[in-house]
Amino acid sequence: MERRDFLKRGSLALTAPLWTAAAGCASVGSSPALDTRERIGISSVSFRDWFVTTRPATAPAGPRSLDALSAPQFVAQELGIRKLELWNRHFDEPTVAYARRVREAADRAGVQINCVQLPGDMSNPEAAVRDRSIAETRRWIEIAAAAGAPAVRVDTGGGANVPFDVRVTGESYRELAQHGASNNVIILVENHGGHSNVAENVAAIVKHVNSRWVRSYPDFGNMPHDSTARQIAFLNTILPWAHMISAKAEVFDASYRHTSFDIAPLVDAAEAGGFRGVYSIELWTARTPPADPVRATRVVMDTIESRLRAIHSSSTR
């Protein structure tokens, strides 16, 4: 993808400082016409038991076997979704050559690989450990670029016994941002364990780096579940820099109603805050995943799309 085309599609704020609320709204932009399906993506994590590389040894074989080459056609045909986020563990080969094959498969299916999920240890107090994690992430940034992905999710790391130091973590992401810029790949900081479990830490990292190549990636499922108000407060803390949202869903009952928390008010809050990007659905729970992940995905899709239609139809009256 040419740089100018990428910048247009990424809807990045190129002029305002990234820590302003105005920048957050400008970065996600607005669309003159609402196409709810274009704002829905899916993570390959949702079907992890169907991928040979991540299927638990005790899990029964799924109705199909997926890999990074077949997943794009699967999500396009089964779900009508055209944006696929790939877990890096779903690449059979961690190479640029294989990633190019993934991009070719995605192009044939009319699907964009819009993000690659990576681990990370950017907060480790030992410089040598951070350096190894940065080097491995730099390699994966190149792989993601070859797959056509305009973004990678990189974990902060950091344990409960390690104090958060924004200078240490921020400088790690600054180095990744430089490599991301040279490959047209945005680095996403998701609230995904370690120091990123605190919303203010995510915001501090993005502010410290102060680069359009480092953005936030709010995850609905990794926010406090004890009240919707606390979830929304967490979301609003990191929303101004959001490039994508992980619309995580967890536990479903026998009728496939999502019971962990209410997704609808979170979509409402994101839209009210100016978000106009992609909601990437991810099914994840430490308990037994839904027996039919396709059906569960459709439930989440319906929830998101119905809220988007309601919100934006009322705003145009």
CA dihedral for 116, 119, 125, 129, sign (positive or negative): negative
Lowest pLDDT segment from 3-7, 151-155, 237-241, 294-298:
3-7
Q: Is 78 inside any structural domain?
A: yes
Tell me the C-alpha distance between 69 and 73, whole Å. Answer: 8
Whether 23 is in a domain gets the answer no
Report strand pairing: 151-154 vs 214-217. Answer: unpaired
If phi > 0 it is left, if psi is from -120 to 50 it is alpha, else beta; for residue 148 that is: left
Burial bucket for residue 75 (CB in 10 Å: 0-12, 13-18, 19+): buried
Tell me whether residue 18 is in a domain.
Answer: no
The residues near 30 (Cβ < 8 Å, ≥ 6 apart) are 276
Taking a C-beta distance cutoff of 8 angstroms, is the pair 280, 43 a contact? yes
Is 145 inside a domain boundary?
yes
Phi, psi of 116 (to 5 degrees): -120, 125
Regarding pTM above 0.85, the answer is yes
Per DSSP, helices labelled H in the chain are: 3-10, 21-28, 71-79, 96-109, 127-146, 166-182, 199-209, 228-238, 264-272, 293-315
List the structure tokens of 259.
Answer: 């019971």
The CATH code of the domain that includes 247 is 3.20.20.150
Per-residue pLDDT tens digits for 228-267? 999 999 999 999 999 999 999 999 999 999 999 999 999 9
* Cα–Cα distance for residue pair 234/287, rounded to 1 Å: 24
How does residue 317 score in pLDDT terms, banded at 50, 70 and 90? low
Q: Is the pLDDT of residue 60 over 80?
A: no
Find residue 112's DSSP bridge partners.
Answer: 83
Residue 315: pLDDT band (50, 70, 90) is low
**Residue 265 is assigned to a structural domain of this protein:** yes
Does 22 map to a domain?
A: no
Angstrom distance (rounded) from CA 247 to CA 220: 6
Domain assignment present for residue 92? The answer is yes
**Helices and strands (H, E) in the chain, number of each type:** 10, 8
172 inside domain: yes
- Number of domains into which the chain is organized: 1
pLDDT band at 148 (very low <50, low <70, confident <90, very high): very high
The residues that bridge with 86 in the sheet, in sequence order, are 116
The predicted pLDDT at position 287 comes to: 72
- For 151, the domain range is 3-11+37-315
